[in-house]
Amino acid sequence: LYRLWPDPDPTPIDDDGLTALYLPADRDRGCVRLNFVTSVDGAVTVNGYSEGLSGATDKYVFGRLRMICDALLVGAGTLRHEGYRAVKLDEVRRAWRREHGLPEYPPIVIISHRLALDPTHPALAEAPVRPIVVSHAAAPADRLALLADAAEVLVCGDTEVDLRMAVDELAKRGLRQLLCEGGPHLLGSLTAADLVDEMCLTLSPLLAGPGAGRITAGPPVSPVRHLSLRHAVAADGALLLRYARQ
């Protein structure tokens, strides 16, 4: 991995250097960070999954971002579709978290409108720390009750999920550095609510061709949100870009 911007540097970036590139300046200041991978022609999936877009470098950064977050946010659709496993960090990353005063594992936070979630799903049932499910007051009561054994259920909003309320509720629990791994509908809603503070985007060196969607989905949003580039690093032809709210 090499830094291209700012200050291009031909010295390879080591583990600590990479972590430093993504660490928040102030952990108490809340941040919603998104992490996505896309092809050069803008596809969010290859054959329906993100796996075909990701390479060793993307996976390495993906793991580092999980290591430094307070909680991992994911849309129920991505959890169901991508076959999410429980978030289990290896010993190196757990040791880093202990040394930095963080709990060993970040909880997973699942955003769902319909609550069509199976409590025996591995991401819930095998989670090393109690997962959190965010829904709203009009969600089916029987599903809410069913999930209450497997997760803490946060009711945010009357008839739909109020994402700003969810971010505030998580902050009250000390979960301020939020890493969201998608998917596109959740990014669309976060953009609409103007909650995206950071976008980490891996550009994979391939053309996926037509067919796949973009990294964002849902109703159009206005006005557009302007971002500024914080860094660009590269490895094996992939570009890893970090953008933040201006």
Q: Which residues bind ligand NAP (CB under 6 A)?
A: 36-38, 44-45, 48-50, 53, 75-78, 81-82, 111-114, 116, 161, 163, 181-186, 189, 217
Instruction: Select 1 or 133, whichever has its Cβ closest to ligand NAP.
Output: 133
Which residue from 116, 30, 106 is spatially nearest to 66, judged by alpha carbons? 106
Q: Which two tokens stand for residue 191?
A: 């953009």
Instruction: Select 166 or 175, whichever has its Cβ closest to ligand NAP.
Output: 166
Which residue from 42, 33, 44, 115 is spatially nearest to 68, judged by alpha carbons? 33
Number of H helices and number of E strands within the chain?
8, 10
User: Nearest approach, Cβ of 176 to ligand NAP (angstroms)?
Assistant: 20
User: Nearest approach, Cβ of 42 to ligand NAP (angstroms)?
Assistant: 11
User: Nearest approach, Cβ of 44 to ligand NAP (angstroms)?
Assistant: 4
Q: 């040394």: which residue's tokens?
A: 99
Instruction: Select 50 or 177, whichever has its Cβ closest to ligand NAP.
Output: 50
Instruction: Select 53 or 102, whichever has its Cβ closest to ligand NAP.
Output: 53
User: Nearest approach, Cβ of 166 to ligand NAP (angstroms)?
Assistant: 9
**CA–CA distance, 152 with 40 (Å, rounded to integer):** 39
The DSSP secondary structure of 77-96, one letter per residue, reads HHHHHTTPPP----HHHHHH
